[in-house]
Amino acid sequence: MSELVFFSGTMDCGKSTLALQIEHNRTTRGLQGLIFTRDDRAGEGKLSSRLGLVTDAVEAGPGLDLYGFVVEQLSRGGKVDYVIVDEAQFLAPDQIDQLARIVDDLELDVFAFGITTDFRTKLFPGSQRLIELADRVETLQVEAMCWCGARATHNARTVGGEMVVEGEQVVVGDVAGSAAEVGYEVLCRRHHRRRMTSAASMAGALSPDVLPVASG
């Protein structure tokens, strides 16, 4: 039976790489997929991995009916054997419902990839809806690491190298961005709570008092 599968994890854990690997494996078996993405770091209509791999995709903007798009492709004689969706956390909840309809009505497998929580540790609406509807939720086994060496579980947004906890939920950036720009860093819960990024840890090491003194 066809399934809606949600592959989740923090930033920098290989989600896009796995999406590209699934595409490669099925293409070599003669299958043809349809790839959607949203706000990829490589630009509009691209699915890219930090390993340098990139492929073309359909930009799933706010008004795009994903189910209708697939139906239109099929009605024109196009071949669609499965659907891949990267950056699925950015989709609207109704677009996630459309993915479920692709599985149920068109009997196609849908593989969705995304992070679950934002830089404030709040669920993205798209990810929340995927957790509610997916046949399976798979946590990626490639663990991203905090600067301290512990398993990274939280995504932190930085501006000028300093962690911020306010602002728009969606601001495109990368874990490899310049310190002067909006960027992201993956942290363990302890250091996310303390707002201690790798840059802050290096600065703190120069201070005689490096223990947290604030409560909360």
Strands (DSSP E) along 54-175, which ranges? Answer: 54-56, 58-59, 82-85, 109-114, 136-139, 154-159, 162-164
| Residue 87 annotated in active site | yes
User: Using CA atoms, how far apart are residues 48 and 54, in angstroms rounded to an integer?
Assistant: 4
Active-site hit among 59, 87, 138, 185: 87
User: Using CA atoms, how far apart are residues 91 and 124, in angstroms rounded to an integer?
Assistant: 9
How would DSSP label each residue in 27-63? HTTT--EEEEESS-TT-TTEEE-TTS-EEE-EE--TT
**For residues 130 and 22, is the Cβ–Cβ distance under 8 A?**
no
Catalytically annotated residues: 87
